[in-house]
Chains A and B, each alone.
Chain A
Amino acid sequence: MNAILRAEGISKIYRQGDASVCAVRNCSLSVEKGTFNVVVGPSGSGKSTLLHILSGMDRPSSGTVFLGEEEIYALSEKKLSRLRNRDVGFVFQKFHLLPFLTAHENILLPAALPGNAVPDAFAADVIRRLRLGDRLHHLPHELSGGQQQRVAIARALINRPKILFADEPTGNLDKSTAAEVIGTLRECARLYEQTVFLVTHDPDLIRKSDLVYRMDDGSLRRIGVRGN
Chain B
Amino acid sequence: MKKKRHARAFSVFQLSLTEMRRRPAAFLPFFLLCVSGLFILYSLLFFQYGCWLSELRISQSRYHVLLPQLTDRQAEEIGALPYVQSAVPFRYGDSVTAYIKLRDNDPEKLRAYCVRIIRDVGLDQTPAYRDNVIFQTSGPMDNWINREYCELAATPFFMRSLSLTALCMASVVGYMLCAMAGKVRADGREYGTLRALGFRRIDICRCLAGQYLSLYALGSFAAIPLSLGVYRLLSVLLKQLFTDNYLQLDFAFPAKEVLFWLPIGALLLLLGTAVVTRLVKREPKDGIAGSAEASLSFVKVSDRRFVRRPSAAHCNLLRAWRCRTSTLWRIVKKAFLLLLPAFFLILAIMLYGMREMSEYDRDFGLFSLAPNYITEEIAQAAAALDGVERTEKRVDYGEGNYGQLLIYAEEGRQAEIERAVEALANAHYLQFYNDYRNKIMNVEQSDIFTVYYLAQAAVLLLASVVTMRAEEAYHLRRRRPEMAVMKSMGLCNSCRELFSAEILTLLLSALLSGIAAAAAHAALPGASWLRPGFLIAAALVFLALFLLPHAALYRKTRRSLARANLIEWMEGDGI
Contacts and interface: CB of A to CB of B under 8 A. Distances in A.
A binds B: yes
Interface of A: 52, 57-59, 77-78, 81-86, 90, 92, 96-101, 104-105, 108-114, 116-124, 139-142, 155
A20 to B, nearest CB: 17
Query: Can you list the 6 inter-chain pairs with the closest CB atoms, starting with the nearest?
Result: A85-B198, A141-B574, A108-B9, A117-B6, A58-B285, A100-B22
Given A98-B190, A100-B575, A141-B574, A81 B10 contact: no
B264 interface: no
Contact of B198 (A113, A119, A121): A113
Nearest to B19: A100
A71 B15 CA distance: 31
A84 B10 contact: no
B6 A118 contact: yes
Chain A CB count within 10 A is highest, among B11, B196, B282, B572, for B196
B4 interface: yes
B6 A120 contact: yes
B12 A105 contact: no
Contacts of B12: 112-114
A23 to B, nearest CB: 11
B198 A82 contact: yes
B8 interface: yes
A77 B200 contact: yes
B7 A119 contact: yes
Contacts of B200: 77-78, 81
A102 B19 CA distance: 11
13 contacts: A58-B283, A84-B197, A90-B197, A97-B193, A100-B19, A104-B9, A108-B7, A108-B10, A110-B198, A113-B199, A116-B8, A119-B7, A120-B5
A178 B8 CA distance: 30
A111 B12 CA distance: 10
A112 B6 contact: no
Contact of B197 (A59, A110, A142): A110
Which label, helix, strand, loop or mixed, suits the secondary structure of the A interface? helix
B378 to A, nearest CB: 79
Contacts of B574: 99, 139-142
Contact of A105 (B9, B199, B201, B286): B9
Contacts of A120: 4-7
Nearest to A165: B196
Contacts of A59: 283
B23 interface: yes
A110 B22 CA distance: 19
B284 interface: yes
Interface string B170-205: 000000000000000000011011111111110100
Nearest to B200: A81
Contacts of A118: 6-8
A94 to B, nearest CB: 8
Contacts of A100: 18-19, 22-23, 575
B374 interface: no
Chain B CB count within 10 A is highest, among A85, A86, A96, A120, for A96
Given A57-B196, A82-B198, A141-B573, A117 B286 contact: no
B292 to A, nearest CB: 14
Chain B CB count within 10 A is highest, among A86, A97, A99, A124, for A99
A124 to B, nearest CB: 8
Contacts of A121: 4-5
A156 B50 CA distance: 60
Nearest to A123: B7
B294 to A, nearest CB: 10
A142 B5 CA distance: 29
Nearest to A55: B196
User: Is the interface on chain B under 10, 10 to 19, 20 to 34, or 35 or more residues?
Assistant: 35 or more
A121 B7 CA distance: 8
Contacts of B11: 112, 114
B40 interface: no
A77 B18 CA distance: 27
B130 to A, nearest CB: 63
A205 B357 CA distance: 87
B575 A119 contact: no
B197 A92 contact: no
Contact of A112 (B15, B193, B286, B575): B15
Contacts of B15: 101, 109, 112
B198 A96 contact: no
Interface string B1-44: 00011111111101100110011000000000000000000000
B498 to A, nearest CB: 25
B328 to A, nearest CB: 22
A96 B23 CA distance: 17
Contacts of B22: 100-101, 139
A90 B285 CA distance: 11
B448 interface: no
A97 B197 CA distance: 11
A58 B573 CA distance: 30
A118 B19 CA distance: 22
A111 B285 contact: no
B288 interface: yes
Nearest to A84: B198
Interface string B317-337: 000000000000000000000
A116 B203 CA distance: 14
Chain B CB count within 10 A is highest, among A57, A59, A78, A141, for A57
B10 A113 contact: no
Contacts of A99: 190, 574-575
A117 B196 CA distance: 18
Contacts of B6: 117-120
Contacts of A83: 198
B256 to A, nearest CB: 37
Nearest to A158: B7
Contacts of B572: 141
Given A113-B203, A114-B12, 17 more contacts: A57-B283, A57-B285, A77-B201, A78-B200, A81-B199, A84-B284, A85-B199, A86-B198, A90-B197, A96-B189, A98-B190, A105-B10, A112-B10, A112-B11, A119-B7, A141-B575, A142-B574
Contacts of A116: 8
A92 B284 CA distance: 12
B23 to A, nearest CB: 5
Given A77-B200, A100-B18, A117 B193 contact: no
B3 to A, nearest CB: 11
Contacts of B282: 77
Nearest to B7: A123
Contacts of B5: 119-121
Contacts of A110: 197-198
A83 B198 CA distance: 7
Nearest to A119: B4
B73 to A, nearest CB: 74
A63 to B, nearest CB: 16
Nearest to A58: B285
Contacts of B285: 52, 57-58
Nearest to B288: A96
B144 to A, nearest CB: 62
